[in-house]
Amino acid sequence: MDLDKPLGSVIQGSLSQGLEVRLHPDVSVEDMRVGKFLVVQGARSRFFCMLTDVTLGTASTRIFANPPDPGNTFLQEVLAGTGTFGTIDLTPMLMFTPEPEEPISYSANSKAKKTKGGKNARAAEDKSDSTASLPLLASLTPQSSSTIELMPVKTIPSHFSQVHEASERDFRAVFGWEDDPHRRNFAIGQPIDMDVPICVDLDRFVERSNGVFGKSGTGKSFLTRLLLSGIIRKQAGVNLIFDMHSEYGWEAVREGKQFSTVKGLRQLFPGQVQIYTLDPESTKRRGVRDAQDLFISFDQIDVEDLMLVRGELNLSEASLENAIILRNEFGKSWITRLLSMSNMEIQEFCETKMGSKSSIMALQRKLNRLEELKYIRNTCPHNYVGQILDSIDAGKHVVIEFGSQSNMLSYMLATNVIARRIHAAYVQKAEKFLQSKNPSDRPQQLVITIEEAHRFLDPSTVSQTIFGTIAREMRKYFVTLLVVDQRPSGIDNEVMSQIGTRITALLNDEKDIDAIFTGVSGAQSLRSVLSKLDSKQQALILGHAVPMPVVIRTRPYDETFYAEIGDVPWEEMPTAAVFKAAESAKADLGF
């Protein structure tokens, strides 16, 4: 398609409702897919827009009453463009107004311009940050070091402004380059109809909690793996991944006619990722070498952890209240003590401590189920959680596998027990840093990935779990969440509005779609975009880490990606690539 040829003219619109554009006669509505990125050239400013709806229009009611015969292509062609026409709705997202004397320049090459661009970009950032208390549709700051200053949309183009296909230059100006040395940009995919990378700014990404949403089978796990690889490669933070289905650390199966697998993070970054497992046999069977065993002991389980799994264990409110009495009495070893108590002892305990016998007996019965779990020990001489913390401190990314223990009870219990301790350690570290202000005390940004997030963050439990706390306030302690979920409507509203960047594959359920737009203003027009995504490998990204909302085709997670992102050992590289790398290394050394 000819990029310079205009597609249509703006015929009406408003800042609040978006623009209506009438397509030129030679442009087919069928080329206009929802989610497309278009540019409107106004008299002074250039507007970057997203296509949010497509309509067919007719100029007269006679055409309705008397449509041309299917075979009468002549009449159809006569009517096209005058009697019948296509219109599209655009939502302007960003605008760019060149200084009057300054010609439009997208080039990032000249040094002088670069510094100016940097300044401009920062100025724009400050502006957007002044409104940062409200979740915005996007960061409104360009991710490139080019000279253009993008602004939130404050006006609309005048009548009959021409609409163009966005060019590669436009995309670059807004979404930047992956190899931009001044930013941690990561290419997460491409626009729906072009071959240009679309980048997320990983520094902005990790500084708030984020979500990957979508129905089952739409590519959430693949998207998550891409994002995690990006964070590792660009060193934007350290990851702690609660890998419920054992698909991030080591090989994961890919859907399709033939059986095939994709690489896990440990395979892509052998030296930087450590796998811990709650089910060592299963992990070993899958061919993972040197995974660390992980056990949890009863004395690490607090009443708070049980509150989270009370549904799974079928615990009553009364049992939990009595658990608190027991804990206050026996301290850390309360579960071991409880499990060893005879009926007589329980009776005595209740008489002196005002507990309820039936509740305590029920609690004992139900906690017996925990004893059967493979990874639970009465006491552990070794501090496994401490070991995980040491790995994280050393900058290693930690994947925790569950193997056969991937039921909700184990997943939630272990995740909560571990995250609670890591959280406590991070609060301490952050406070130390705040006090000393010494850059070397600054904790590394930690990203905790959890699956089935609505289980941890639903309105009834969110106030009690550590994840609610992290989502709401941990930004200041350098810990954020990456939640992966297929039912975003199950997540508490307050938490949802703290989610900085939302990467959403197809969702059908109205409630889930509503949830994605919780707390972002002006998102109504994007609903149609979200419900019209392909069922696989497409996503809408909006929020803090992108300058404007955008629909992407997800970057393929395949051999090419491994080569681009991973630490490929020399032995596995093709000879030509090794020679090339050797040449450039020699050149660097001045030979």
Q: Name the binder of 442 from Mg ion, ligand ADP, none, CB < 5-8 A by kind.
A: none
Position 300 contacts Mg ion (CB under 5 A): no
Tokens 């960003």 locate to 94
Smallest distance, ligand ADP to C-beta of residue 223, A:
7
Taking CB under 5 A as the binding criterion, the range among 74-82, 195-203, 215-223, 279-287 that sits at the site for Mg ion is 215-223
Position 264 contacts ligand ADP (CB under 6 A): no
Question: Quick one: tokens of 416?
Answer: 């909560």
Site for ligand ADP in 533-562 (CB under 6 A): 536-537, 554-557
Smallest distance, ligand ADP to C-beta of residue 119, A:
36
Smallest distance, Mg ion to C-beta of residue 481, A:
17
Smallest distance, ligand ADP to C-beta of residue 178, A:
16
- Name the residue nearer to ligand ADP (CB basis): 254 or 472: 254
User: CB atoms < 10 A from the CB of 399, how many?
Assistant: 26
Smallest distance, ligand ADP to C-beta of residue 263, A:
12
Which residues does residue 530 pair with via DSSP β-bridges, in sequence order?
none
For residue 501, give every residue at least 6 positions away whose Cβ sits within 8 Å of its Cβ, in sequence order, or none: 200, 204, 205, 208, 210, 211, 541, 542, 543, 544, 545, 546
User: CB atoms < 10 A from the CB of 123, how many?
Assistant: 11
What secondary structure does DSSP assign to 391-410, as a single string? HHHTT-EEEEE-GGG-SHHH
- Measured over the CA atoms of residue 450, residue 454, residue 457 and residue 460, the dihedral's sign is negative
Site for ligand ADP in 62-121 (CB under 6 A): none
Question: Quick one: tokens of 153?
Answer: 């949309």
Determine the size of the site formed for Mg ion (CB under 5 A).
1
How far is the C-alpha of 333 from the C-alpha of 350, rounded, in Å?
18
Question: Quick one: tokens of 435?
Answer: 């006090």
- Name the residue nearer to ligand ADP (CB basis): 257 or 476: 257
Listed in sequence order, the DSSP H helices in 240-302 are: 265-268, 280-285
Smallest distance, ligand ADP to C-beta of residue 211, A:
13
Position 214 contacts ligand ADP (CB under 6 A): yes
Question: Quick one: tokens of 336?
Answer: 């071991």
> What character string, x for contact with Mg ion (CB under 5 A) and - otherwise, covers 25-64?
----------------------------------------
- Give the type of residue at 121: A
Position 210 contacts Mg ion (CB under 5 A): no
How far is the C-alpha of 254 from the C-alpha of 316, rounded, in Å?
41
Position 221 contacts Mg ion (CB under 5 A): yes
Compute and round to an integer the Cα radius of gyration of the chain. Answer: 28
Residue 437 burial by Cβ neighbours in a 10 Å radius (0-12, 13-18, 19+): exposed
Taking CB under 6 A as the binding criterion, the range among 70-78, 218-226, 350-358, 452-460 that sits at the site for ligand ADP is 218-226
Site for ligand ADP in 230-259 (CB under 6 A): 254-256
**Of 35, 86, 191, 219, the one binding ligand ADP by CB under 6 A:** 219
Smallest distance, ligand ADP to C-beta of residue 513, A:
16
Calculate helix-pair angle for 343-353, 357-371, nearest 10 degrees. Answer: 130
Contacting positions for Mg ion (CB under 5 A): 221
Contacting positions for ligand ADP (CB under 6 A): 214, 216-222, 254-256, 536-537, 554-557
